[in-house]
């Protein structure tokens, strides 16, 4: 997996590259917007991490340019601007996700993995499976080992998001943004309570838990062996 | 000043011109009337009659202000009180002003005359002494001149006095302003107690300065609080890191310290984010992006997010929302404000208590409230509770940044909504009163 980092803060870029390398990614780095456009035109990347404020050509212009050239590689925009409207503008320009600086590396990694996975899953699929857990998206029912699990609508959406990212870490802010459409971080970890409720319904009475808490990062649904 | 002087002069000149013009006209009319009378006498009674009439008129004129002279064609005097025909060059209309010598005193007298040729080549001269009239005109001229002078003098002195007073008042204000600009913000412009425009200006400026000082103190308070509230966690992180450098031996110990430090730093970042959000909401620059916000839907979703948290804590959670209430606004910010209120309510309500979310339609507009049965906020502290970093002493040890209600207040202000903290008996009822759309 090859990732292009477009970031003019060299220290931040080095830290990012190091973290991604440790997680098994290949990275390239450019510090300038024009240079980034040349690279994007010449090579293919699995994903791009683009800082919004850049010398020369700014991040949003890079994304717009590559999108109009038909390049559909996923882009994660980084920005020091944290306003809800800034986020909306970033996504409108063609970014796939938007992360405000300063961010936790675990958050960035989780979002990057979500982006890389996107498009691989079949959008047409009507049943999601993780181990013996089954979610029917048409009848909106969930069963584990054949027995039905009764979920409230929000719990269903929460589980759906987790199952679509099965095997990967999903952070609390990703859940807030995608399940609740909240782009702020509540003071209390309300998400934890929702997860523990969901966990009660999914894992209670089963030897192998499916819903896991990843310390310092978030949650993941996966089959353990 | 100039305009005043010029108009006074113009007025006086007009008075002079009209009075003296009227006097001149009077004289000329009298002379005309006499000539008409005398030529009628001549036409009716002949030369002898005319001579008689002239002699009678001369005799009647005791003051000697009238001049008559009738001569034959060789200018030899026939009747009248002039010894001889004066020499003058003829004029078109027969009007002249002559300097005639008074026979007895030898005084020169200015006389307005008209000469007239009677049939039979007799020359008739009728005149009036205008020395008196000129004197009166001179007197009028003089007094008007004096009037002008006095007016100018009084006006000048008054203007000078007034402008000095004006400049004096401004000087006081300028002096005080300079001192204030140089840093003495507690200086005020002295009032003269006259209650005039300058005093009122000074009073307004003083009131403005009071307001500025109040705002400055507010800003200073906020930055002091920020510094104070951020120094605490930073000190803790620093202490923990320093201690770990000295005492920690195993990688596990280091890991624990680093993880704790990361958690602390995340809290600091959350505080910064909250401050930035408040600043953005207070700046109010994004009102043009307002959309209609479905308050019931927004409250429903926030309630769903927080309901499990309340249940976990053993708090009853009630939701009562009137449908179809919309306000123009920023949905994300209103949701965040409501989330902060719910967060506080659940945090401060003890187990067994109750938290209620209500949305009501009132005549003034939609009212979104969160009520709890916690300790509430004493009335005296309610205003303060909306300021940044202001926390009740009793809640110092509960987690939180002290920014939650400030954000609610900023969001309320952005939406022209009133925030109301009231006694829920027991507990707190926080309401956002939106204006009717």
pLDDT in tens, B94-116: 788 878 777 666 777 788 888 88
What CATH class does B288-433 carry? alpha beta
Identify the H or E element spanning B433. Answer: strand B428-433
The CATH number for B197-282, chosen from 3.40.30.10, 3.40.50.300, 3.30.450.20, 1.10.287.130, is 1.10.287.130
Shared domain check, A56 and A13: yes
Q: Among the three residues A58, A86, A117, which one is the final residue of a domain in this structure?
A: A117
Q: Which fold has domain B2-136?
A: Beta-Lactamase (3.30.450)
Q: Does the distance separating the beta carbons of B269 and A102 come in below 8 Å?
A: yes
d(CA B150, CA B139): 16
Contact (CB, 8 A) for B299 and B321: yes
* Cα–Cα nearest to A104, from B236, B270, B230: B270
pLDDT value of position A120:
64
What percentage of residues in chain A have a pLDDT greater than 70?
Answer: 96
pLDDT value of position A185:
74
Shared domain check, A13 and A98: yes
Contact (CB, 8 A) for B427 and B349: yes
Confidence grade of residue B413 (pLDDT, cut at 50, 70, 90)? confident
Q: Which residues of B touch A (CB under 8 A)?
A: 259, 262, 266, 269-270, 273, 276-277, 280, 286, 289, 301, 304-306, 308-309, 312, 330, 332-333, 335-336, 339-340, 343, 346-347, 399-401, 404
Contact (CB, 8 A) for A161 and A173: no
Whether the per-residue pLDDT at A83 is higher than 90: the answer is no
Which of A87, A99, A188 is the best mutation test for B, with the most CBs of B within 10 A?
A188
Contacts of B288 in chain A (CB under 8 A): none
d(CA B39, CA B286): 102
Mean per-residue pLDDT over chain B, rounded? 84
B2-136 and B197-282 share one CATH topology? Answer: no
Contacts of B308 in chain A (CB under 8 A): 190, 193-194, 197
pLDDT value of position A211:
93
Positive or negative, the Cα torsion across B209, B211, B217, B223? Answer: negative
For residue A122, is it within any domain? no
ipTM for this prediction:
0.82
How many Cβ pairs within 8 Å bridge chains A and B?
57
Per-residue pLDDT reduced to its tens digit, B63-91: 778 888 888 888 888 888 887 888 777 77
Q: Among the three residues A117, A150, A170, which one is the final residue of a domain in this structure?
A: A117
Confidence grade of residue B356 (pLDDT, cut at 50, 70, 90)? very high
Mean pLDDT of B213-222: 82
Shared domain check, A165 and A98: no
- Greater confidence (B391 vs A198) lies with A198
Q: Among the three residues A62, A87, A117, which one is the final residue of a domain in this structure?
A: A117
Shared domain check, A153 and A80: no
Whether the per-residue pLDDT at B24 is higher than 70: the answer is yes
For chain B, domain boundaries = 2-136, 197-282, 288-433
Which of B305, B307, B347, B403 is the best mutation test for A, with the most CBs of A within 10 A?
B305
* Cα–Cα nearest to B54, from B106, B127, B154, B108: B127
Neighbour-count burial of B137, counting CB atoms closer than 10 A to its CB (0-12 exposed, 13-18 middle, 19+ buried): middle
pLDDT value of position A64:
93
Give the one of A84, A187, A216 whose C-beta lies nearest to B404's C-beta: A187
Per-residue pLDDT reduced to its tens digit, A112-142: 999 988 766 666 778 999 989 999 999 999 9
d(CA A114, CA A224): 20
Please give the residue range of the domain that contains residue A25.
2-117
pLDDT value of position A18:
94
d(CA A175, CA A155): 11
């Amino acid at each position: 997996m090859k990732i292009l980092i477009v970031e003019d803060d060299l220290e931040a870029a080095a830290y990012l590259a190091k973290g991604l390398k440790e997680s098994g990614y290949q990275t390239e780095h450019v510090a300038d917007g024009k240079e980034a456009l040349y690279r994007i035109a010449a090579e293919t990347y699995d994903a791009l991490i683009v800082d919004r404020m850049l010398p020369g050509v700014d991040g949003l212009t890079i994304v717009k340019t590559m999108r109009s050239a038909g390049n559909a590689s996923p882009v994660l925009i980084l920005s020091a601007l944290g306003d809800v409207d800034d986020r909306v503008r970033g996504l409108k320009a063609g970014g796939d996700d938007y992360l405000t600086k300063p961010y936790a590396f675990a958050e960035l990694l989780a979002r990057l993995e979500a982006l890389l996975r996107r498009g691989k899953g079949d959008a047409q699929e009507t049943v999601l499976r993780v181990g013996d857990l089954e979610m029917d998206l048409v009848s909106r029912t969930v069963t584990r080992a054949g027995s039905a699990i009764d979920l409230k609508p929000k719990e269903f959406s929460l589980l759906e998001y987790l199952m679509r990212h099965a095997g990967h870490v999903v952070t609390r802010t990703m859940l807030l943004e995608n399940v609740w459409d909240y782009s702020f971080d509540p003071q209390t970890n309300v998400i934890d309570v929702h997860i523990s409720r969901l966990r009660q319904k999914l894992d209670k009475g089963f030897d192998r838990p499916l819903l896991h808490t990843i310390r310092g990062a978030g949650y993941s649904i996966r089959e353990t062996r | 000043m100039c305009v005043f002087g010029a108009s006074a002069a113009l007025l006086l000149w007009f008075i002079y011109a009209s009075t003296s013009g009227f006097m001149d006209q009077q004289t000329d009319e009298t002379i005309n009337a006499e000539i008409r009378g005398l030529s009628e006498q001549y036409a009716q009674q002949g030369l002898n009659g005319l001579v008689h009439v002239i002699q009678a008129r001369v005799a009647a004129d005791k003051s000697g202000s009238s001049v008559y002279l009738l001569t034959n064609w060789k200018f030899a005097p026939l009747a009248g009180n002039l010894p001889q025909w004066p020499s003058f060059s003829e004029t078109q209309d027969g009007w002249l002003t002559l300097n005639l010598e008074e026979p007895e005193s030898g005084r020169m007298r200015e006389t307005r005359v008209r000469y007239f040729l009677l049939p039979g080549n007799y020359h008739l001269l009728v005149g009036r002494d205008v020395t008196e009239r000129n004197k009166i005109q001179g007197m009028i001229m003089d007094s008007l001149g004096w009037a002008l002078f006095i007016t100018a003098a009084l006006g000048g002195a008054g203007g000078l006095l007034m402008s000095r007073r004006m400049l004096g008042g401004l000087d006081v204000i300028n002096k005080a302003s300079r001192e204030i600009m140089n840093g003495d913000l507690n200086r005020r412009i002295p009032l003269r107690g006259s209650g005039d425009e300058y005093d009122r200006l000074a009073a307004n400026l003083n009131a403005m300065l009071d307001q500025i000082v109040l705002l400055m103190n507010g800003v200073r308070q906020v930055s002091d609080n920020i510094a104070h509230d951020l120094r605490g966690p930073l000190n803790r992180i620093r202490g923990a890191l320093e201690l770990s450098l000295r005492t920690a031996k195993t990688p596990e110990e280091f890991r624990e310290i680093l993880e704790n430090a990361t958690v602390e730093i995340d809290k600091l970042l959350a505080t910064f984010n909250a401050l930035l959000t408040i600043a953005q909401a207070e700046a109010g620059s994004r009102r043009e992006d307002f959309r209609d916000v479905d308050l019931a839907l927004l409250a429903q979703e926030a309630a769903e997010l927080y309901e499990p948290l309340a249940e976990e804590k053993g708090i009853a959670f009630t939701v009562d929302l009137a449908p179809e209430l919309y306000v123009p606004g920023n949905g994300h910010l209103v949701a965040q404000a409501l989330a902060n209120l719910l967060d506080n309510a659940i945090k401060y309500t003890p187990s067994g208590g109750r938290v209620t979310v209500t949305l009501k339609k009132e005549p003034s507009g939609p009212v979104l409230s969160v009520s709890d049965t916690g300790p509430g906020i004493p009335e005296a502290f309610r205003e303060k509770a909306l300021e940044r970093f202001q926390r009740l002493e009793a809640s110092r040890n509960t987690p939180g940044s002290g920014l939650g209600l400030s954000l609610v207040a900023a969001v309320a202000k952005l939406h022209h909504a009133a925030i109301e903290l009231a006694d829920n008996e027991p507990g707190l009822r926080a309401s956002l009163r939106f204006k009717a759309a």
